């Protein structure tokens, strides 16, 4: 027999559950919505530094949620045995600060039981209050993100991710989840990671491939995204991508994240370039306006970002320039003419058949245009099989977005939607057409003009934050001969 519970009692029960499940306050939440003065609180975090005077002691506390540390005031006996790096729990009262740097302080209540050690550190804990090079920090793959600078990069990465979600929601796109395991090579370049189950590898003579055929980690989700675009219209994804290139440069990773979008019924490549400019400027606008202090998060004390980026331009000036100016667009042939007329001696010769080297890309955007620039209409031999051929029969309707300091961060194109032309290109390039029959079937059933793009997410973070090495914007870098954890 069921017992009737009065609505008032249900409400009380729900209130109790909410109180019991409330998460501990973060330092960011306390700064954003300060408690009443003299409120008693319990706060958790890591010790960033300790300073002891004759009658008072100060402790800088961080939990990674905010670019500022929380200044905590203790008695000298309360810091006995505490060390930089330890995680602790403090109970005290929220008070107005007597200094100028922060509006509030956290005064620990008297008594040793109001300072609790949660997690100790080794005697040789490496993150002391001193300068560390980024090269050294890369050797500390589990600790480096606790530093003020690199934790600000992770918060910034989260901010950009959120703003891109907002943009696509506003533009009526659907977020989708294409697979990262594929049976075909999207780019046709062969730089793939082949995957197989361990049991098959250990006893390959007696077992067929796990998937019944060769399978790979994807180099682009585009082909599968086209399938979803045909069903839903405008679609996008932010997915891990894998490239098996044995490259050790500061702008290449073997595992990285790519934002890809696909749109039906676009017939001019400039429709896509204008859209991608609008997309990035949506993020930059929020930096200019310092939404949620994302701009302050990077600017405050970020000596690395200023050293790595534009020597004569602050981050704020850079963002303002990006947001206020319209980005130029030139053809591939025009880019070669500009490079040849510059009189500059490049390490790589400027040749039509060789494409643009990274140094060419950086010079065009950084020195000549001093702004992002779109380069369109590359020779068809340089680009993947799926790109739509231009009327000249020599080039394809594609683009790369070049930005100062980094080079190319976005590539996009119109897709060839004509079955006969696409099949002909696949055969001309001696590609395995059987592996692409599923893709060709799109052209056999209600085909339509469409196009899209792919944005290297880490490269965008590097550009906007003035970070020189892509390994410093991804939590666990995976690259040639690098997979330590």
**Residue-wise DSSP of 149-202:** HHHHHHHHHHHHHHHHHHHHHHTT-EE----SEESS-SSSS---EEE--HHHHH
Q: Do residues 396 and 377 touch, judged by C-beta distance below 8 A? A: yes
* Same-domain pairing of 90 and 235: no
Q: What is the rounded average pLDDT for all residues in the chain?
A: 90
Domain harbouring 341, CATH code: 3.30.930.10
Report the pLDDT value the prediction gives residue 131, as an integer from 0 to 100: 81
**What is d(CA 135, CA 144) in angstroms, rounded to the nearest whole number?**
11
Report the pLDDT value the prediction gives residue 480, as an integer from 0 to 100: 86
State yes or no: pLDDT of 2 exceeds 50. no
Report the pLDDT value the prediction gives residue 4, as an integer from 0 to 100: 53
* Same-domain pairing of 164 and 104: no
- Structural domain contains residue 209: no
Report the pLDDT value the prediction gives residue 241, as an integer from 0 to 100: 95
Higher pLDDT, 158 or 101: 158
* CA–CA distances in Å: residue 176 to residues 225, 235, 300: 8, 7, 36
* Same-domain pairing of 105 and 162: no
Q: Do residues 209 and 198 touch, judged by C-beta distance below 8 A? A: no
State yes or no: pLDDT of 261 exceeds 80. yes
Report the pLDDT value the prediction gives residue 1, as an integer from 0 to 100: 46
* Same-domain pairing of 160 and 49: no
Q: Do residues 252 and 479 touch, judged by C-beta distance below 8 A? A: yes
Quickly state the pLDDT bin for 48 (edges 50, 70, 90): very high
* Same-domain pairing of 433 and 376: yes
Domain harbouring 78, CATH code: 2.40.50.140
Number of domain units in the chain:
2
- Structural domain contains residue 63: yes
**What is d(CA 88, CA 117) in angstroms, rounded to the nearest whole number?**
5
- Structural domain contains residue 56: yes
* Same-domain pairing of 157 and 28: no
Higher pLDDT, 185 or 232: 232
State yes or no: pLDDT of 69 exceeds 80. yes
* Same-domain pairing of 57 and 169: no
**What is d(CA 228, CA 234) in angstroms, rounded to the nearest whole number?**
9
Report the pLDDT value the prediction gives residue 212, as an integer from 0 to 100: 86
Q: Mean pLDDT over residues 403-417, rounded?
A: 95
> Half-sphere exposure (CA, 13 Å, Cβ side) for 388?
22
Q: Do residues 267 and 414 touch, judged by C-beta distance below 8 A? A: yes
* Same-domain pairing of 87 and 161: no
State yes or no: pLDDT of 8 exceeds 80. no
- Structural domain contains residue 18: no
* Same-domain pairing of 277 and 419: yes
State yes or no: pLDDT of 416 exceeds 50. yes
Cα 466 vs. chain centroid, distance in angstroms? Answer: 13
Q: Do residues 172 and 234 touch, judged by C-beta distance below 8 A? A: yes
Predicted confidence (pLDDT) per residue in 241-250, tens digit: 999 888 778 8
- Structural domain contains residue 418: yes
Sign of CA dihedral 175, 177, 183, 189: positive
**What is d(CA 398, CA 485) in angstroms, rounded to the nearest whole number?**
38
Report the pLDDT value the prediction gives residue 100, as an integer from 0 to 100: 73
- Structural domain contains residue 443: yes
* Same-domain pairing of 42 and 173: no
Higher pLDDT, 120 or 300: 120
Domain residues for the domain of 49 are 24-119
Quickly state the pLDDT bin for 306 (edges 50, 70, 90): very low
Report the pLDDT value the prediction gives residue 189, as an integer from 0 to 100: 57
Q: Mean pLDDT over residues 269-285, rounded?
A: 97
* Same-domain pairing of 88 and 171: no
3-state secondary structure of 321: helix
How large is the C-alpha radius of gyration of the chain?
27
* Residue 268 φ then ψ, to 5°: -135, 130
- Structural domain contains residue 28: yes
> Half-sphere exposure (CA, 13 Å, Cβ side) for 151?
17
H/E run at residue 223: helix 222-232
H/E run at residue 305: helix 303-308
User: Considering the entire predicted model, what is its pTM?
Assistant: 0.90
- Structural domain contains residue 220: no
* Same-domain pairing of 394 and 299: yes
Residue 234: closest CA among 49, 58, 381, 450: 450
Quickly state the pLDDT bin for 102 (edges 50, 70, 90): confident
């Amino acid at each position: 027999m069921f017992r009737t519970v009065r609505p008032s009692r249900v409400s009380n029960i729900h209130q109790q559950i909410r109180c019991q499940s409330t998460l501990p306050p973060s330092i960011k939440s306390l700064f954003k919505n300060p408690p009443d003065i003299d409120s008693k609180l319990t706060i958790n975090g890591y010790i960033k530094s300790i300073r002891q005077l004759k009658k008072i002691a100060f402790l800088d506390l961080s939990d990674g949620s905010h670019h500022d540390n929380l200044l905590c005031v203790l008695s000298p006996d309360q810091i006995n045995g505490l060390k930089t790096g330890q995680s602790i729990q403090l109970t005290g009262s929220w008070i107005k600060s007597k200094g100028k740097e922060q509006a509030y302080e956290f005064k620990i209540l008297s008594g040793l039981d109001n300072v609790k050690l949660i997690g100790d550190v080794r005697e040789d804990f490496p993150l002391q209050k001193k300068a560390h090079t980024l090269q050294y920090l890369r050797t500390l793959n589990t600790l480096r993100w606790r530093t003020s600078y690199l934790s600000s990069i992770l918060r910034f990465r989260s901010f950009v991710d959120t703003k891109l979600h907002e943009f696509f929601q506003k533009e009526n796109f659907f977020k989708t989840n294409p697979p990262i395991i594929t049976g075909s090579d999207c780019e046709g370049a062969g730089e793939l990671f082949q995957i197989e189950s361990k049991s098959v590898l250990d006893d390959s003579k007696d077992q067929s491939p796990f998937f019944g055929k060769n399978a790979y980690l994807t180099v682009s989700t585009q082909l599968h995204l086209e399938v979803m675009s045909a069903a839903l219209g405008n679609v996008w994804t932010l997915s891990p991508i894998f490239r098996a290139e044995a490259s050790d440069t500061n702008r290449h990773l073997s595992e990285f994240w790519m934002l890809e979008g696909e749109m039906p019924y676009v017939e001019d490549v400039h429709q896509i370039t204008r859209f991608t400019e609008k997309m990035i400027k949506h993020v930059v606008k929020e930096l200019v306006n310092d939404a949620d202090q994302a701009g302050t998060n990077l600017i405050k004390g970020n000596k690395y970002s200023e050293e790595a980026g534009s020597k004569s331009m602050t981050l704020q000036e850079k963002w303002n320039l990006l947001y206020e100016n319209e980005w130029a667009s030139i053809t591939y042939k025009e880019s070669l003419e500009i490079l040849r007329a510059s009189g500059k001696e490049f390490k790589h010769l400027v040749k039509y058949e060789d494409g643009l080297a990274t140094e060419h890309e950086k010079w065009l955007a950084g020195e000549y245009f001093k702004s992002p620039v779109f380069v369109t209409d590359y020779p068809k031999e340089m680009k993947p099989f799926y790109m739509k051929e231009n009327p000249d029969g020599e080039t394809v309707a594609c683009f790369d977005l070049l930005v100062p300091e980094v080079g190319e961060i976005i590539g996009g194109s119109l897709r060839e939607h004509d079955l006969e032309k696409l099949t002909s290109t696949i055969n001309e390039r001696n590609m395995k057409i059987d592996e692409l029959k599923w893709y060709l079937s799109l052209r056999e059933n209600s085909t339509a003009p469409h196009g899209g793009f792919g944005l290297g997410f880490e490269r965008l973070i590097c550009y906007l934050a003035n970070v020189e090495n892509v390994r410093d914007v991804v939590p666990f870098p995976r690259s040639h001969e690098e997979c330590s954890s």
